[in-house]
Structure 1
């Protein structure tokens, strides 16, 4: 009996498998870059190191991500997708300014604690981060301050907004909680008291 020939796999199957392989390779590259950004920092993350960790060549990395901005955008999106992000839309629904500030700062400080290592390294190596990524991060910070400040009657006071911006900053959380040993809740109370004092001065 002659051996039955196997029918060739449909072209659609081959194309789908190739697309899946490409997707998996891209994901490995992104995960390798995120790991390196969060352990060594962006300034010390080279294409060679990413290629080695993801098991591909430098050319493959460049084929998937032709420039730094594309790679950083993919890394940032992947890392953020794994975090419980701050929810300024929920703070904005709170009318009382002190309650809104307390809720917003507690939410931000929770996020800072969970993502501390990555955030600290990205801020440390800010000059190595592509400008569009830096601008997006700065804009996000401005939005947080806008939501927190708008509940106050003195919302347009530049000093009040500056103090709220200081309270909402990652560096302020790190100074109070890591350097001085406060809990997140204690740090929130300290900053709320400071903002209330500034708001009452006018």
Structure 2
């Protein structure tokens, strides 16, 4: 019984050790891919480059991630888990249209500034992203836009307002204002809020701008 117990215990130890090794290898591959995506971009990141940085063979990378979509999904999930993500649920707590725009864009632009290096590479290499991931990003931005649109009255909604809100939530809009032209997040939010407000007012009747802006 003693020898059987020892043998069983040793097998469990070896299995646990192997599981830890596999998990460690998996994470090294993900970390390597994240680093390369954020430094040279997905389009220039190769399996060979990931393998070299992770200290494994190309075959090992393929064993853990059989295709680009699986690898990119793992990288994206890992990177996002380390970020303070935008919180549209908190935006929805603002019933006033202008206040929601201000709160929402402030939160979103904070996320863009914090993740600028990675987000720049990801969006710059848009065509190299897996189709499913491009769809996720497009759906996310549409959701952000719709959350900001919700408190505006029906009378102020138009294709122009939708386009303006879509422009406001775009990473490239933030980057143009803040990275390229050196504005603060606060200034960028103020500019976009003014543009959105003006667009909404132009859709309503003369003299009702305050009602439109404040969603009443």
The TM-score normalised by the length of structure 2 is 0.88
- Counterpart of 1:181? 182
- Counterpart of 2:97? 97
CA drift at 1:156? 4.0
| Unmatched segments (≥5 aa) in structure 2 | 1-5, 204-216
CA drift at 1:14? 1.2
Within-5 A mapping of 1:1-202: 8=7, 9-154=9-154, 156-202=157-203
| Unmatched segments (≥5 aa) in structure 1 | 1-6
Cα distance between partner residues in 2 of 1:48 and 1:93: 47
Moved over 2 A (4+): 7-10
Cα distance between partner residues in 2 of 1:41 and 1:167: 24
Cα distance between partner residues in 2 of 1:11 and 1:102: 59
CA drift at 1:16? 1.3
Q: Compute the RMSD of aligned alpha carbons.
A: 1.1
CA drift at 1:157? 1.6
| Partner-residue secondary structure (3-state), 1:201 | helix
Cα distance between partner residues in 2 of 1:127 and 1:25: 29
Cα distance between partner residues in 1 of 2:13 and 2:135: 42
CA drift at 1:10? 2.3
The TM-score normalised by the length of structure 1 is 0.94
CA drift at 1:197? 0.4
Corresponding pairs, count: 196
CA contact (8 A) 2:157 2:200 kept: no
CA drift at 1:182? 1.1
